[in-house]
Chains A and B, each alone.
Chain A
Amino acid sequence: DGGITQSPKYLFRKEGQNVTLSCEQNLNHDAMYWYRQDPGQGLRLIYYSQIVNDFQKGDIAEGYSVSREKKESFPLTVTSAQKNPTAFYLCASSPSQNPVYFGNGTRLTVT
């Protein structure tokens, strides 16, 4: 079955550590995205990539980094520079035009 796989579902880290969230898709979609969702709030775009080896900052890119070495993969690193990293992170992908399809998310808790 085609889809978007995010792993792990839950992730716990100590403050000051970098952490990488995995996102893989087998939908052959060109574009991939990372969103952040805080409790009771909507989605905010962190980074997006329209093509391999290229990506752009979204609305809240500070403290995050990404890479797009393969079409199928778009990992997100939450660095120690991110002041409030605890959140629900959603990866998504889309063909050359919308709509966007989502993975099931990774809940990151930093203490």
Chain B
Amino acid sequence: GNSVTQMEGPVTLSEEAFLTINCTYTATGYPSLFWYVQYPGEGLQLLLKATKADDKGSNKGFEATYRKETTSFHLEKGSVQVSDSAVYFCALADYTGGFKTIFGAGTRLFVKA
């Protein structure tokens, strides 16, 4: 079946460092892909999305490109801030059998001042 695999965390970076969080997926058809962010004690917030191959989603300095040839959707940010510390979830929209979204296990990011 469809699935999403993220790099294991935690990822610890210093402020202003470059961030990459890897995400690969397995899917039949052409799913939409998403990144969500979860701050402590809160729900998930949609960070960015891409609906077809070669689309680039971007928001708040974060970017991810839908790569069909490598089945990947890696999250990147050029210069992280302490306020970016959170858990990041990669997800794909699976329409098989209904409107279900499949989430990766999440990657915790710590950014040090």
A contacts, CB < 8 Å to B: 4, 6, 31, 41-43, 45, 48, 50, 56, 58, 90, 92, 94, 96-105, 107
Contacts and interface: CB of A to CB of B under 8 A. Distances in A.
B103 interface: yes
Contact of A102 (B43, B93, B105): B43
Interface of B: 32, 34, 36, 41-46, 49, 89, 91, 93, 95, 98-101, 103-106
Contacts of B32: 97-99
B99 A97 contact: yes
B89 A42 contact: yes
Contact of B93 (A56, A58, A97): A97
6 contacts: A6-B43, A43-B44, A43-B89, A50-B99, A98-B34, A105-B43
A105 B42 CA distance: 6
B99 A48 contact: yes
B42 A104 contact: yes
B105 A31 contact: no
Q: Give the interface SS of chain A, mostly helix, strand, loop or mixed.
A: strand
Given A48-B99, A98-B93, A105-B42, A42 B49 contact: no
B98 A102 contact: no
Contacts of B103: 42-43
Given A48-B99, A48-B100, A101 B46 contact: yes
Contact of B100 (A6, A45, A101, A107): A45
Contact of A50 (B43, B45, B98): B98
Contacts of A101: 46
